[in-house]
Amino acid sequence: MSIWWWAAGYFACYAPYSALTKALSSPRGGGAALSGVELLPYSTLASLVGMAVFMVATGWWRAASTRQVLGVAVPSPSRWTWLSGLATAAIIGTTTLSYTFRDTSIVFMMLLMRGRVLILAPVVDVAARRHVKATSWVALALSIGAVVVATARREALWISVAATADALLYLGAYFVRLRFMSRLAKGSPEANRRYFVEEQLVASPAIFVSLGLVAAFGPGHLAEQLRRGFTALTPSQLGLTLVVGLLSQGTGIFGALILLDARENSFCVPINRASSILAGLLATLLLQVFGFGQQLGTGELAGAALVIAAIALLARPPRGEQGKP
């Protein structure tokens, strides 16, 4: 299927995912709000279940490499897809957390985090010796310009230490993931599917097991919040958190398929990032209607306009390349 269908699916999952995450972590009328850490246990469990259902329903699990265990062929990710899966696990956790910081808007965190990944795209392409087309460079410049415009106001730069650490971990995890993806996939459909399946088989289980171990044996405030996330959610909070997890897995599936397109990262990454930024813009507008969140500033709106321009440019490749995968 076309990369634009994957982008549409990514947008459709990302808008309600980010909106629900922000709403659950934002007190309204003095009501209780969940912390980002409290959201993680059951949202991650739902992502894990969603991943398993998707793999079985599509039959894609058969694409993974296997090894014999007691005479049975068992899916077995390689060393590199294990590492990429762990990086993806970090991306899953930091993405959910990024929308729970009360001193920042959804769109601002999206522009801040995704803008840095946009800068990584040509770096990874150069390291992988991939040719970057002129249109991709222009779209990349427009996307980076969106981040600069959105963060130009002095007060917007003051974010918490926790939000800064979250964004830096997200950036590092994406660098690892894009580097391994460029090395192992972005080629034949078979190689792409094998990479996708092996990465997904590691990511959700790794983060869920890690959260469980910290909750069970870890000391301090973080472990306490995780234990509350496992045991203290109300039925309505639990239901919405499970929906957040399923939508998160949807963004993971569609987002990975965008990035696995055979074209250079400087083409695929802006499409991936732009889809999520536009989804965040829609989510913020919806939250305003229902009394949650902060009002969009002119810088954020201008940044979104530049992202739309980048999408329009990428959606119209040169005539000689029309019809290519």
Of the two residues 173 and 308, the one the predictor is more confident about is: 173
- To which residue do tokens 């077995």 refer? 76
Q: With cut-offs at 50, 70 and 90, classify the pLDDT of residue 273.
A: confident
The whole-number average pLDDT for the span 195-201 is: 91
Among 36-40, 260-264, 309-313, the minimum mean pLDDT is found in 309-313
The whole-number average pLDDT for the span 133-149 is: 76
131: exposed, middle or buried (Cβ count in 10 Å: 0-12, 13-18, 19+): exposed
What is d(CA 11, CA 282) in angstroms, rounded to the nearest whole number? 10
The whole-number average pLDDT for the span 52-76 is: 86
What is d(CA 286, CA 15) in angstroms, rounded to the nearest whole number? 9
Of the two residues 184 and 27, the one the predictor is more confident about is: 184
Residue 291, pLDDT above cutoff 90:
no
Report the interhelical angle of 134-150 vs 265-289 (nearest 10°). 30
The whole-number average pLDDT for the span 252-261 is: 91
Q: With cut-offs at 50, 70 and 90, classify the pLDDT of residue 292.
A: low
The pLDDT score that the predictor gives to residue 1 is: 61
Helix (H, G, I), strand (E, B) or coil at 179: helix
How is 20-87 classified by DSSP, letter by letter? HHHHHTS--TT-----HHHHHHHHHHHHHHHHHHHHHHHTGGGGS-EEEETTEEEE---HHHHHHHHH
The pLDDT score that the predictor gives to residue 131 is: 75
Handedness of CA 173, 179, 184, 190 (dihedral sign): positive
pTM of this structure: 0.79
Backbone angles phi, psi at 260, to 5 degrees: -80, -5
Residue 27, pLDDT above cutoff 70:
no
What is d(CA 100, CA 105) in angstroms, rounded to the nearest whole number? 9
The pLDDT score that the predictor gives to residue 70 is: 78
The pLDDT score that the predictor gives to residue 317 is: 53
Q: Are 7 and 258 in contact (CB under 8 A)?
A: yes
Report the interhelical angle of 235-259 vs 265-289 (nearest 10°). 150
Share of the chain above pLDDT 70, in %: 85
The pLDDT score that the predictor gives to residue 322 is: 47
Q: Are 26 and 294 in contact (CB under 8 A)?
A: no
Mean pLDDT for all residues in the chain: 81
Backbone angles phi, psi at 232, to 5 degrees: -115, 10
Q: With cut-offs at 50, 70 and 90, classify the pLDDT of residue 307.
A: confident
